């Protein structure tokens, strides 16, 4: 059984999860519900931190089921949490799927920037800015996936050229000989640095708006902020941080710090530029038409969000319908691929809500929040930022944001804090769960 349990995960990880499940049963009868619930939180965060060993839905889901079985919470309480956060689930299911159909347009934009801008510093800044702008309106995870696709795509050009007798730079030397040795290593380093700049850009942009990250919408819902309100409230932190990010990009590229600063080899640039020009010439009328439809969809998305014409998830569903209808995507299995990326995380999100329901039912964070709120008012935002940032770097942002915003919201409803201070803490929680999380792969 151990061979099949959690698939290809290391045996030590499998045995650890089994030990958790067995010990929890003993703990609830010997240590009591409160201590056992804290153990569940530690174990759940462990599964999130070990996300590269096995997707947390599996082990975390087993822990969530056990929490309900041991009556640390109830299915009804978990369902109530899901009800409260339905708009976040709709965002994940429909908006991410809508962006899936825009991937060719995003690939086209990044490819053009890649081949037209010759300065490495300028290109790095553009990758940060474009990634940030896209992540402010689209799902940051999807933008990251596109960045990786662009990098892999251009690296794929190398492989394609390396196995052919092409001479795209017209140098008289076969391109496979030009793109080898040190040239290849430099090319790979160049691609890596651009992707990392783009990933940082998704964090800088994702924190700015209501739809940049799922937790933003969750926090915005609690505060009653629409798209414009959220931007205006966050800008005091997010805009200076955005420009600080650009300045940092320039510095590390200029002085070649931390492995950044690699230039695109001239021969590689010429070969790829000529290769992409040939690809443009071969682009069919159907593909050009699809790019136009995707561009119109992007305009509709921005307009719909700015005017708040409907819940975010519904806007996503409308974009799915618009794009598939006008691009002629009519078969069910073609539509199904769009939902593959988001549904595993949507399932994990529901598991989060089971753990959040347990935290609420056992009043676990109440003493911590009360202690934090007893600090001087000017110290509280920094404390919440650090607490959120540390947890978000090792576990999931949505989980951390849900726990903290729920507790602070309860304090506001109980009259313990003013509306103005509630908004200040919400800003600290949002920035704390977004910005430091880029520090680690798990974040």
pLDDT computed for residue 20 by the predictor: 93
With H, G, I as helix, E, B as strand and everything else as coil, classify residue 442.
Answer: coil
139, 182, 215, 226 from 229: Cα distances, Å:
19, 51, 16, 5
**Cα–Cα distance for residue pair 82/62, rounded to 1 Å:** 18
Whether the predicted pLDDT of 206 surpasses 50: yes
Query: Could you please report the per-residue DSSP string of 222-269?
Result: HHT--HHHHHHHHHHHHHHHHHHHHHHHHHHHHTT-TT--PPPPHHHH
CA separation for the pair 158, 272 (Å, rounded): 8
Q: Across the chain, how many H-helices and E-strands are there?
A: 22, 0
| Tokens linked to 83 | 């009800």
Task: Classify residue 20 as exposed, middle or buried by CB count within 10 Å of its CB (0-12, 13-18, 19+).
Answer: buried
Check if the beta carbon of residue 136 is closer than 8 Å to that of residue 119. no
Top-confidence residue, 70 or 150: 70
Residues 6+ apart with CB under 8 A from 250: 121, 124, 125
pLDDT at 171: 52
Residue 176 has pLDDT above 60, yes or no: no
Q: Express each pLDDT in 47-89 by its tens digit.
A: 988 887 888 899 999 999 999 999 999 999 999 989 988 888 8
Predicted confidence band of residue 379 (pLDDT cuts 50, 70, 90) = very high
pLDDT of residue 184: 74
Q: What is the pLDDT of residues 103-112, one digit of tens each?
A: 888 878 877 8
Share of the chain above pLDDT 70, in %: 93
The band of 174, judged by pLDDT with boundaries at 50, 70 and 90, is: very low
| pLDDT value, residue 177 | 57
């Amino acid at each position: 059984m151990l061979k099949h349990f959690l698939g290809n995960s290391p045996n030590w990880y499998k045995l650890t999860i089994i030990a958790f499940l067995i010990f929890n049963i003993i703990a609830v009868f010997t240590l009591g519900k409160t201590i056992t619930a804290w153990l569940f939180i530690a174990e759940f965060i462990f599964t999130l931190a070990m996300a590269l060993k096995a997707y947390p839905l599996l082990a975390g889901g087993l822990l969530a089921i056990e929490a309900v079985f041991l009556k640390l919470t109830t299915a009804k309480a978990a369902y109530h949490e899901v009800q409260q956060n339905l708009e976040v689930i709709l965002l994940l299911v429909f908006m991410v799927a809508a962006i899936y159909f825009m991937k060719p347009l995003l690939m086209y934009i990044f490819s053009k920037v890649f081949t037209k801008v010759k300065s490495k510093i300028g290109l790095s800044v553009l990758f940060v800015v474009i990634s940030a702008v896209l992540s402010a309106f689209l799902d940051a995870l999807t933008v990251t996936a596109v960045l990786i696709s662009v990098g892999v795509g251009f690296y794929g050009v190398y492989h394609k050229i390396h196995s052919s007798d092409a001479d795209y730079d017209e140098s008289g030397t076969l391109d496979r000989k030009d793109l080898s040795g040190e040239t290849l290593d430099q090319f790979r380093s160049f691609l890596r640095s651009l992707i990392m700049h783009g990933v940082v850009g998704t964090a800088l942009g994702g924190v700015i708006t209501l739809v940049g990250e799922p937790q933003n919408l969750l926090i915005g819902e609690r505060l009653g902020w629409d798209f414009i309100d959220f931007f205006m409230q966050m800008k005091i932190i997010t805009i200076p941080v955005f420009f600080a990010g650009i300045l940092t990009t320039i510095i590390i590229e200029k002085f070649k710090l931390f492995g950044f600063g690699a230039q695109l080899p001239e021969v590689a640039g010429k070969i790829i530029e000529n290769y992409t020009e040939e690809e443009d010439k071969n682009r069919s009328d159907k593909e050009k038409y699809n790019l136009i439809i995707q561009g119109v969809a992007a305009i509709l998305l921005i307009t719909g969000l700015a005017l708040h014409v409907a819940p975010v998830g519904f806007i996503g569903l409308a974009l799915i319908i618009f794009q598939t209808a006008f691009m002629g995507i009519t078969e069910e299995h073609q539509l199904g691929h769009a939902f593959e990326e988001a549904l595993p995380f949507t399932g994990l999100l529901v598991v989060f809500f089971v753990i959040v329901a347990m935290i609420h039912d056992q009043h676990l964070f109440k003493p911590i929040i009360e202690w934090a709120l007893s600090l001087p008012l000017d110290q509280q935002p920094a404390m919440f930022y650090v607490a959120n940032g540390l947890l978000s770097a090792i576990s999931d942002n949505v989980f951390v944001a849900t726990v903290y915003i729920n507790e602070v919201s309860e304090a506001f409803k109980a009259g313990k804090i003013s509306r103005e201070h509630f908004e200040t803490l919400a800003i600290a929680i949002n920035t704390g769960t977004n910005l430091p999380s880029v520090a680690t792969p798990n974040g």
